[in-house]
Amino acid sequence: MRVAFGRPKIYAIVETGSKQYRVTPGQTIDVERLGAAEGATVELDRVLLIGDGDRVTVGTPTVDGAKVVATSKGEEKGRKIIVFKYKSKVRYHRKKGHRQLHTTLVIDKIVGPEAAEGEPAKKVRRRKKEVIESGA
C-alpha cells in the first residue's frame, strides 16, 4: 500500500484515443487530440479501473458512474516522424514527414462510483389517469 501525505493514493486507468493511461491527481499527460480549448474542463468517462489504497474496482468493461476530471493545457505537436518509401531498381522514392497533434491534460480529481450512488435518484412522477364522464 502506497501512502502519500497520510492517506491512500488513488489512481485510475482511463481510455481515450484508443489508448489506456494510468493517472493520478496532479499528473500531466499527453493524449490524442481532443479539441478542447486551453483551460477547459474535460471529463474522461471511460474509466476501466480505480485503485484506492487496498480497494480495487474493475469495470466490465468500464466502471459505472466513475469519471476523471482534467483541465486542458492546450494542444501541441509531437516529434516529427519521417515516412520514407523506396523501391529498388525502379527509381521510386517518396519522403514525407508527420507531426501528430496532442492535447496536454492535468488530472484534477478522480470521481469513484460511490460518489454517483450518493446522489439522490430523481423520482419519476406517474401521470394520473383522468376519468372521462362518458366512461371511455
Residue 68 located in a structural domain: yes
Give how many domains the chain has, as a whole number.
Answer: 1
Q: What pTM, to 2 d.p., does this model score? A: 0.71
Rounded Cα gap, residues 100 and 33, in angstroms: 8
The answer to whether position 7 is within a domain reads yes
Which among 44, 82, 80 is positioned nearest to 63, based on CA atoms? 44
Residue with cell 423520482: 123
> Would you say residue 131 lies in a domain?
no
Domain-embedded: residue 21:
yes
pLDDT per position as a tens digit, 20-78: 999 999 999 999 999 899 999 999 999 999 998 888 999 889 999 999 999 999 999 99
Structural domain that includes position 89: 3-117
Determine, yes or no, domain membership for 51: yes
* In-domain check, residue 122: no
